[in-house]
A and B are shown apart, each in its own frame.
Chain A
Amino acid sequence: MSKKILLEHAHIEGIRFYETYRKNGGYRSVEKALKMSPDDIVEEVKKSGLRGRGGAGFPTGMKWSFLAKPEGVPRHLVCNADESEPGTFKDRYLMEFLPHLLIEGLIVSSFALGSNATYIYIRGEYAWIPDILEQAIAEAKANGWLGKNILGTGFDCEIYVQRGAGAYICGEETALIESLEGKRGNPRIKPPFPAIQGLWMRPTVVNNVETLAAVVPIINMGGDEYAKIGVGKSTGTKLLSVCGNVNKPGVYEIDMTISVEEFIYSDAYCGGIPNRKKLKACIPGGSSVPILPANLLLKTAKGENRMMNYESLADGGFATGSMMGSGGFIVLDETQCIVRHTMSLARFYNHESCGQCSPCREGTGWMYKILKNIEYGHGKMSDIDLLWDVQRKIEGNTICPLGDAAAWPVAAAIRHFRDEFEWHINNPVEAQTRNYGLAHYADPIHVPTV
């Protein structure tokens, strides 16, 4: 079902500005939260079942309760607005259209965690958004929601916006912290975890934009009510950014009870595939998660309808399932080439590897090179096994999960589309002029007549 909690007011003219936002119920959660104790707020977030919306899906309340609180050491909340996972552009939408929602969530969360200086780390390419956020911050401050002694509670809080400068790896939370300290974005070896030693070696919580925005409805309606939305451990609503071959790309909010089929074909969401082409494959949660052929996307291996939630998307593990990830939903129609698409993602990860660990630094370059050879007609049949071998040796052998993120798309492409790789290798000339089309096991795929 389409359920709007985060985006409820997104369509209202002027909602970007304080007056309109406030008139529509804005900042109520701050009024409520600042009368509660910080621990009670953490408790509400725990009860809500909210899971991190940055990609890993870790329970937010639990993460907050790990934050160390040594006497006399300042703590920090950092908002991760680096949003660089291919396919993902939902945080951008929230920040552009509902900046006050994020600021409101940040104030409540800062209070809960005891952060007097909170930083929003935003990818540098979103160069026009800091102005929007800074204006919202200034408005919030002018109206007493930020600054010194907020609402007479004695709580002081400032929010600062910091731009990155083009590095996907800075979305990884320890790389983000390094970058915020003015260094190269090299992920740190954990432990220590940021909750113990993060920004400037102080206890730090890093959360995604959407996660922190969701704190607002959680406080307003209470954690228990929020947990009633959705199914099982997929509580609340989730923003999805849709791209690729769909009629209506964009950002959608769902309550995680709809099926993948409805999401793709219903006019309330993606509106189907352009020109009534067939669906070939989909990467449902940002470029790092496994690609699925149409048949496994719409139905699980058990033959059940696959649903748009954490558990169902992951049903079958990596053998036949995928992941919710960051919510970047990438749709490929029957004319797309899996080899070329995988090559492009391999180039991305190779470009973005920070270079600290040899399996990732060398392996991503190697995978890109092999895929390029296959794509341009110089592949050998043994390359497929070589690719498989390289990706397997990266996975689990690196400092940060970028290595896994680079390995998984390649593994999944070979797992499900091996015949297309073989066709490329066997038909190097023909492969330059036409695409393979639908994989045989993805065919026939029914196209609903809605």
Chain B
Amino acid sequence: MKQFSAEQLNQVQAIIARYPEGKQKSALIPLLHLAQETFGGWLDTETMDYIAALLTIKPIEVYEVASFYSMFHMKPVGKHVFEVCQTGPCMLNGSDEIIAYIKEKLGIEAGQTTADGLFTLKPVECLGACGYAPMMQLGKHYKEFLTKEKVDQIIEELRTASKH
């Protein structure tokens, strides 16, 4: 069964303590982030039910929130998700070409994962890095001023790292 570690459970309590008595539901989004990071990069029903129990709210309250926000994955994703911004300002600086290049290089379409389970391509909307375009989010950080060479390098590094 999926469970947070003792240390994470302390973290959960600290998050709940930020809100007034009885308003623990406010901790839902922070907890879903923690759960997604901990349990394989996406949220299955079991995980969401676990969060509901932790916050003493109904499972449906968790499902409706998890499915609303685009950062929560409701289906399995690759180990690394390339979240490439495709909105207007990035488009002006070549995000279309970068997305096309990643598709070609990895042999996948938008929303798909490579057969080895390493990479998912997810075109997303503006990430607040419009002046540093084209760009993508990779885990916790942004990769900015992308070029084909930079994409090659990122993929190479991640492939090498996964072999160790």
Which residues of A are interface residues toward B (Cβ below 8 A)? 74, 83-89, 92, 117, 119, 123-128, 158, 160, 162-168, 179-185, 200, 241-245, 249-251, 287, 328, 330-332, 336, 340-341, 344-345, 347-348, 351-352
B30 with A163: CB separation less than 8 A = yes
CB distance from A179 to the nearest CB of B (A): 7
Cα separation A336 to B91 with both chains bound (whole Å): 10
Known: A185-B68, A344-B91. 4 other contacts (CB 8 A): A158-B18, A182-B55, A242-B131, A344-B86
Q: A87-B130, A182-B27, A244-B93 are in contact. Are A164 and B88 (CB under 8 A)?
A: no
**Chain A: minimal CB distance from B74 (Å):** 12
Partner of A183, one of B65, B71, B91: B65
A287 and chain B: residue at smallest CB distance: B88
List the B side residues contacting A127 at CB < 8 Å. Answer: 139-141
Is A124's CB under 8 angstroms from B71's CB? yes
Q: What separation, in Å, do the CA atoms of A184 and B33 have in the docked complex?
A: 15
- Which residues of B in the span 71-99 have a Cβ within 8 Å of any Cβ on A? 71-72, 86-89, 91-93
Q: List CB contacts (< 8 Å) of B42-92 with chain A.
A: 55, 57, 61, 64-65, 68-72, 86-89, 91-92
Asked if B91 and A165 sit within 8 Å, CB to CB, the answer is no
Assess the A165–B32 pair: CB atoms within 8 A: yes
B29 in the interface, Cβ–Cβ < 8 Å? Answer: yes
Listed residue (A244, A332, A352) with the most chain B CB atoms within 10 angstroms of its CB: A244
In this complex, the member of A126, A243, A245, A348 whose beta carbon has the largest number of chain B beta carbons within 10 angstroms is A243
B71 touches A125 (CB 8 A): yes
A345 touches B71 (CB 8 A): no
CB distance from A325 to the nearest CB of B (A): 14
- Nearest Cβ distance between residue A48 and chain B, in whole angstroms? 27
CB of B137 closer than 8 Å to a CB of A: yes
What's the least CB distance linking A160 to chain B, in Å?
A: 4
Whether B29 pairs with A200 at a CB distance below 8 angstroms is no
In the complex where A125-B137, A345-B88 touch, is A168 in contact with B125 (Cβ < 8 A)? yes
- Establish whether residues A200 and B20, one from each chain, have CB atoms under 8 Å apart when the complex forms: yes
User: Once the chains are docked, how many angstroms separate the CA of A386 from the CA of B89?
Assistant: 26
**B133 beta carbon closer than 8 Å to chain A:** yes
B residues near A119, Cβ cutoff 8 Å: 18
B129 within 8 A of A: yes
Residues of chain B lying within 8 A (CB to CB) of residue A331: 92
Q: A89-B128, A127-B141 are in contact. Are A182 and B29 (CB under 8 A)?
A: yes
**B64 x A184 contact (CB < 8 A):** yes
Hey, which chain A residues are within 8 Å of B33, CB to CB? 124, 163, 165
A341 engages B88 (CB within 8 Å): yes
Interface presence of B127 (CB below 8 A):
yes
Please give the number of chain B residues whose Cβ is less than 8 angstroms from any Cβ of chain A in the complex: 42
Q: Is the CB of B68 within 8 A of A181?
A: no
- Asked if A348 and B126 sit within 8 Å, CB to CB, the answer is yes
Knowing A125-B71, A165-B32, A165-B70 are in contact, say whether A89-B87 is a contact too (CB < 8 A): no
C-alpha gap A182/B141 in the complex (Å): 25
Let me know if B92 and A341 touch, CB within 8 A.
yes
Contact A243 B131 (CB under 8 A): yes
Contact of A181 (CB < 8 Å), options: B26, B93, B128, B139: B26
Chain B contacts for A330, CB-based, 8 A: 88-89, 92, 130
Shortest distance from the beta carbon of B85 to any chain A beta carbon, whole Å: 9
Measured between alpha carbons, how far is A322 from B26 in the docked complex, in Å? 38
Q: Does B23 contact A (CB under 8 A)?
A: yes
Complex: A85 Cα to B65 Cα, angstroms? 22
Q: How far is the CB of A176 from chain B (nearest CB, A)?
A: 12
Q: Is the CB of B29 within 8 A of A243?
A: no
Q: Does B28 contact A (CB under 8 A)?
A: yes
Q: Which residues of B contact A180 (CB under 8 A)?
A: 26
In contact, A250 and B131 (Cβ under 8 angstroms)? yes
Q: Select one of B23, B92, B129 contacting A245, CB under 8 A.
A: B92
CB of A244 within 8 A of CB of B89, answer yes
Are B68 and A243 in contact, with the CB atoms below 8 A? no
Collect the chain B residues with CB atoms within 8 Å of residue A117's CB.
Answer: 18, 20
Out of A83, A168, A182, name the residue touching B26 (CB < 8 Å).
Answer: A182
Please indicate the chain B residues that have their CB under 8 angstroms from the CB of A352 in the complex: 125
Q: Which residues of A contact B129 (CB under 8 A)?
A: 89, 92
Q: How far is the CA of A179 from the CA of B68 in the complex (A)?
A: 10
Question: Across the two chains, which residue of chain A brings its CB closest to B133?
Answer: A243
A36 to chain B minimum Cβ distance, whole angstroms, is 28
User: Cβ of A182 and Cβ of B25 under 8 Å apart?
Assistant: yes
Q: When A165-B72, A182-B29, A184-B64 are in contact, do A128 and B141 touch as well, CB less than 8 Å?
A: yes
10 contacts between A and B (CB under 8 A): A87-B126, A88-B128, A89-B131, A124-B29, A125-B137, A166-B70, A182-B55, A249-B131, A287-B87, A348-B88
Does B132 sit at the interface, judged by CB under 8 A?
yes
**Minimal beta-carbon separation of B7 from chain A (angstroms):** 17
Kindly list chain A residues whose C-beta atoms are within 8 Å of the C-beta of B86.
Answer: 344
Given contacts A124-B71, A167-B70, A344-B86, contact A328 B130 (CB under 8 A): yes
Decide if B125 touches A351 in the complex (CB within 8 Å).
yes
